[in-house]
A and B are shown apart, each in its own frame.
Chain A
Amino acid sequence: MTPAINDDEITHLLNLLLEQYGYDFLGYSRASIKRRILRLMAADNLVAPAGILQRVRFDPEYARRFMEEITVNVTEMFRDASFYHCLRNTVLPVLNTYPMIRIWHAGCSTGEEVYSMAMLLQEEGLYHKSLLYATDINAGVIEKARRGMFPISQMKNYSNNYILAGGKESFSKYYTANYGYAKFDEELSGRVIFATHNLVSDKSFNEFQLIICRNVMIYFDKELQDSVLQLFDDSLESLGFLALGAKETIRFSSIATSYQQIEKEKIWRKM
């Protein structure tokens, strides 16, 4: 038997998660969240919706697993070469004019992009005066991000990405191979504050010159996208930059009119 769950049952499950644990997934795109739930049900041998509902209701540990499994945590180092070129050549020179640089990686997952940014800042001589906030709703992935250990099997791909993105060093100088993992230089996380933050329910906590949130908002419905963009707007200094994923845009949102797109990248500047 393959697991099945209908729309009403999903709504019921998500309401339960909100009322009992405070996690609000009601504004997430349904098709994707349904796939994740079915995947979890299959993995945990829960064929009927009643089974998963019971587990989430009575087992807080399981509720946490549910929350962690239905969010997508796939990320990469130096993904989209032209994006990183633009950061290096257009955005960082502007940030360099500030005495202190504050960057927020919202929905950073396991942190690959945070480490990419730290390398970029080091290579451009800005790291010493930068502070990076790396947040995610999922405490499990934040812990992984803090450890800075990534599968060694990914290093060839990341090294290629790094070169394409205009990397100035030998990529392998940033990590030491340790069994199946590449342990990244602790200096790269030395100026990073890792914390959990929920984009749906938590408020703005600082002002930044650069906010990076890539491939997070694609999972949100239009309404939630708009409220998250408002949160970013509230958290961005005037003339600050907002960077999104390759297929994301602020074009149809309420903040669009006060932002200007940088080159053809998914980077906008607050005017």
Chain B
Amino acid sequence: MEENVSGAAKKLVLIGGSAGSLEVVLAILQQLRADPLRAIIIVLHRKGGNESNVLVSLLKDRTRVPVKEAEEKELITGGQVYIAPGDYHLLIENDKTLSLDFSEKIYYSRPCIDVSFQTAAEAYGPLATGILLSGASRDGTDGIIAINKAGGVSVVQSPASSVVDYMPAHALKHAAPRLVLNIAELIDYVNGF
């Protein structure tokens, strides 16, 4: 972990889920309070690349905080919400910049949640929070493990409150998330961070 990169967000919250968790992401963003020290990165499984813009504008319309698609080599800025572009993996560098990667899909998905969570755990250590939402693959579990190992905060949506519970249930079984929250609790948690 490299300290004191000037201008970069001090804390990083990552939210990972599949297309079915969009409603929860919207609910979180809708009530989001600006925090200039914190950046949020959203990694959603979805098909193809072109509807990336649709997702960004959809999320933009629902929140007061700035939302943009993550661009390669850009510095992670406090207060900003970044969306991982479709069909690329999004990596967090130790110097607090973003990288894109077009390597093989993982668990049939690109972007892969594990990749973002694991690299964020390294770059941000205890100041990384990883939130895993609803989804249908085992993606995210290794990411939660990495966040735990780095001393960050790992959060999993309660399977009972998930549209598709496979992904959070898998993480619950194989990792040990610090918190298990339902939707209302998730919204409160992100805002009280």
Contacts of B71 in A (CB 8 A): 247, 249
User: Within 8 Å of chain B (Cβ to Cβ): is A248?
Assistant: yes
Which B residues are within 8 Å of any A CB, using their own CB?
A: 49, 71-73, 85, 87-88, 91-94, 99-104, 115, 118-119, 122-123
For B142, the closest partner residue in chain A by CB is A2
A72 to chain B, nearest CB (A): 4
Count of A interface residues, CB-CB < 8 Å: 21
A72 touches B72 (CB 8 A): no
Distance A74 CA – B106 CA, assembled complex (angstroms): 13
A11 to chain B, nearest CB (A): 12
A-B pairs with lowest CB-CB distance, top 9: A31-B91, A215-B102, A72-B103, A29-B99, A31-B119, A32-B101, A218-B100, A31-B93, A218-B72
Distance A215 CA – B72 CA, assembled complex (angstroms): 11
A29 touches B102 (CB 8 A): no
Which A residues are within 8 Å of any B CB, using their own CB?
A: 7, 29-32, 35-36, 72, 74, 80, 215, 218-219, 221-222, 225, 245-249
B85 touches A32 (CB 8 A): no
For B119, the closest partner residue in chain A by CB is A31
B119 to chain A, nearest CB (A): 5
A29 touches B93 (CB 8 A): yes
Which of A30, A36, A225 counts the most chain B CB atoms within 10 A?
A: A30
Known pairs A29-B93, A31-B119, A80-B49; A74 contacts B99 (CB<8 A):
no
Given A218-B101, A247-B71; 13 other pairs, CB 8 A cutoff: A30-B93, A31-B119, A31-B122, A32-B103, A74-B102, A74-B104, A80-B49, A219-B99, A221-B73, A245-B102, A246-B87, A247-B88, A249-B71
A228 to chain B, nearest CB (A): 13
